[in-house]
Amino acid sequence: KAGVTQTPRYLIKTRGQQVTLSCSPISGHRSVSWYQQTPGQGLQFLFEYFSETQRNKGNFPGRFSGRQFSNSRSEMNVSTLELGDSALYLCASSLGRDWYGYTFGSGTRLTVV
Amino acid sequence: AQSVTQPDIHITVSEGASLELRCNYSYGATPYLFWYVQSPGQGLQLLLKYFSGDTLVQGIKGFEAEFKRSQSSFNLRKPSVHWSDAAEYFCAVGTILTGGGNKLTFGTGTQLKVEL
């Protein structure tokens, strides 16, 4: 079956702009989690959505937001981009209970210039 | 709060040699432990995981890891490394959150270089 699909794979944005990233989970998975990976901070949890509701949020400013649709696809949005937002953004999908099937996508590489 | 330490930032081994990547964790309860591998520009691939039971777990690509509660460690091993194993390896501890759902807390990673 198809894996976790993230689009686009690469993005270049200008400081101050906003950006939207998309994540399509594995069929049947209802939970989508987002992580940011940077050379300086490593891999950090952003937030998790389940059945269109944000269940958990990491320690990120309000510029980072997300949502989940009824088909479990998720988007994350970053407003007023800063140079430090340049990162690989990874999403992971799962059934939503425990760790079964927790699978990562290939990520979206965001570069802010 | 949970945390993961990977003390080795870079490791270089010769092809065919054995490998051990170190991981120490801090977590109050019985931990959910994971090892992931990441090739350049790619996502994270799960190598193996430990939830409970047998402390020696087998994973994909010939990797294994041993959970040692007394040492708070979960080291990754492979008896004979192949050139294709060159990548970055991440240890992680999983947390079940009070609102439901879960999250992973990662170590800083170990970059493995394999010399031919």
User: What confidence tier does A1 reach under pLDDT thresholds 50, 70, 90?
Assistant: low
Shortest distance between the Cα of B1 and any Cα of chain A, in A, equals 13
Contact partners, residue B75, CB within 8 Å, separation at least 6: B20, B21, B22, B23, B65, B66, B68
Shortest distance between the Cα of A8 and any Cα of chain B, in A, equals 13
Taking residue B102's Cβ as centre, other Cβ atoms within 10 Å add up to 22
SS3 state of residue B70? helix
In percent, how much of chain B has pLDDT > 90?
A: 82
The pLDDT of residue A70 is 96
Higher pLDDT, A27 or B98: A27
User: What confidence tier does A30 reach under pLDDT thresholds 50, 70, 90?
Assistant: very high
- Average pLDDT over chain A reads 94
Cβ-nearest to B43 among A45, A99, A106: A106
Taking residue B8's Cβ as centre, other Cβ atoms within 10 Å add up to 15
Round to whole Å and give the CA distance between A49 and A83: 26
Q: Is the pLDDT of residue A80 over 80?
A: yes
A68 and B CB contact within 8 Å: no
The string of pLDDT tens digits covering residues A45-76 is 999 999 999 999 999 999 999 999 999 999 99
Q: What is the dihedral of CA A2, A96, B50, B2, to 10 degrees?
A: 120
Cβ-nearest to B102 among A4, A42, A99: A99
Q: Can you tell me the mean pLDDT for A103-111?
A: 96
Contacts B108 to A, Cβ<8 Å: 42
Q: Is the pLDDT of residue A105 over 70?
A: yes
Q: How many CB pairs under 8 A join A and B?
A: 63
Contacts B45 to A, Cβ<8 Å: 104
List Cα–Cα distances, A11 to A18, A68, B66, in angstroms.
11, 21, 40
- Average pLDDT over chain B reads 94
Verify whether the Cβ–Cβ distance A50 to B102 is below 8 Å.
Answer: no
Which tokens in the block code for residue B59? 């994973």
Which tokens in the block code for residue B77? 């091993």
Which tokens in the block code for residue A112? 């802010």
What are A3's strand-pairing partners? none
Q: Can you tell me the mean pLDDT for A71-90?
A: 97
